[in-house]
Amino acid sequence: PCGSDADCPEDFRCNTDTLVREEDVGCFGDAACPDGYYCNLGTNECEQSCTAETEAEVCPDGFHCSSGRCVECTTDEECGAGLTCDVVAGRCAGQSTCFTDRDCLRPLVCNRLTGQCTESVPPCVSNDDCLADEVCDIRSGVCEPAACLPDALEENETYETAATIEPGLLSNLTLCDREVDWYRIALGEGDRISCTVNPPPLAGTNFSVTLYEPGGERALATGNLVVDFTVSTPGDYGLLVTTTDVRAEYSMQVLVSRGIPCEDDPFEENDAFTAAALLPEGETFNLQKCPADEDWYLIEQPRGERLRVSLTHDPLQGDLDLWAYDSDGASVIARSETTEATETVEIATTSAGRAFLRIVADTSVRNTYDLKIESLP
C-alpha cells in the first residue's frame, strides 16, 4: 500500500484512489492528478495549477500563469532564436528538445536541466543542478519535485487531529509549508518512550521533537532529534515534530519500554504558587522533583522574624536551585543558583507575613531533595 508518490520506487506512482503502487506511465487527463493539479498533455505530467495571485509562488522563474497553467510560452515570439513554442506543453523547444524521458529513445534519458536526451543524467549535488521547480535530494543525487506532497498520516496539524501511532518505525513522513506534525500514542504508568527523528542529511539542526502530556497543553520533554521520558500516569500522550525548513522529509523511530516512574511526594499537586503546599518549620525529607514539574511551597513568617531556608540535594543527579518570593508570589526576594549540594536563601521581611519557595530546574531534571527552615537570631 501507499499514501503518496513518496512511498513508491522510481518509475512508479501511488494511485490515490486504490492506495496501490502502479507504473508511472504519465497522465492523460486531469482525472489522474491530485486536487490542485492538472495534466500537462505535452509532458504527460501533473503540474500545479496557478492563478494570477499565486503565479509568483507557484510558477518557476521565466514562466507565467496562463489559463490556470504555468507556461513558458503561448506563441513562438516568446521563445529564443531557433526555438518554437510547444503550445501543448507550454514550453519553448528545439528540434531535439526533451521534457521527460518519454521524449527520448531508449536507453537515452532526458536531462531536464539542459533539455537534451543523454545516456545518463549526472547526480545532483545541490539545488543549482535542478530545475527551478525541483530540489536536490543529496542522498540519492536525484532532482525531486519541489512541490511537497502530504504523507499518509495527514491531516495531523493539531493535537485534536493527531495521527494515532504504535511503537515502531514510521517512514516517508513529510513537513510541507512549515506545517507541524502531531502524533498520539497510548502509554501506561511507568512506560518509557524514546522517540528519534531521522531527518535528511544536513537538516538535523532544523528539527525539534516534543512530548506533551495528555490533552496537549503541557510539554514534558523536548529535543533536537530525540526525546526520552518515563511517564507517571497512563493516557494518550502527544508527540510534536517541527522544522524551520520550508519542506522536509523524515522518518521517526518510536520505542516504548518499562521505566521507573517519578513518584509524587505528599505535597503534590503544588505546581504553581496558587497551589503552593504549606511547609512546616524544621526539616522535611525525601521531596521529589519530577521532570516538567514545578514545586512550590508556602512558609509563614512571623513579624520581625528572619528565616533561613536550605535545600540539600545531589547536583550530579540534576542541579536544583532555590528561589524565594514575596507574599504576592511574583516578586523575587532571594535566590540561590549555585552548582553546590546546598542552596540557601535568607528571608528578612515579607509584605504580608508569608513567603513562597520555588524549586527551579531544567524541565528534564529528576531528583530528590530535603528542605530545612530555621529562625535566625
Strand bridging mode 181-187 / 163-164: parallel
Per-residue pLDDT tens over the stretch 208-220? 999 999 999 989 9
Alpha carbon distance 55, 64 (integer Å): 6
pLDDT value of position 66: 93
Reply yes or no on whether the pLDDT at 116 is more than 90: no
pLDDT value of position 147: 67
Residue 109 vs residue 289, higher pLDDT: 289
Per-residue pLDDT tens over the stretch 338-351? 999 999 999 988 88
CATH class of 273-376: mainly beta
This model's pTM is above 0.85: no
Please confirm whether the linkage preceding 269 is cis (ω < 30° from 0): yes
Per-residue pLDDT tens over the stretch 159-175? 999 999 999 999 989 98
Alpha carbon distance 347, 327 (integer Å): 12
pLDDT value of position 373: 95
Per-residue pLDDT tens over the stretch 48-63? 999 999 998 889 888 9
Instruction: Give percent of the chain with pLDDT exceeding 90.
Output: 46
Residue 264 vs residue 181, higher pLDDT: 181
CATH class of 163-258: mainly beta
Residue 141 vs residue 309, higher pLDDT: 309
pLDDT value of position 86: 87
Rg (CA), the chain: 30
For 72-95, what is the mean pLDDT?
A: 85
Average pLDDT for the chain:
87
Per-residue pLDDT tens over the stretch 218-276? 899 999 899 999 998 899 999 999 988 777 889 999 999 988 888 889 999 899 999 99
Alpha carbon distance 231, 66 (integer Å): 56
Residues 6+ apart with CB under 8 A from 142: 10, 123, 124, 136
pLDDT value of position 1: 62
pLDDT value of position 195: 96
For the chain, residues classed under CATH 2.60.120.380 are: 163-258, 273-376
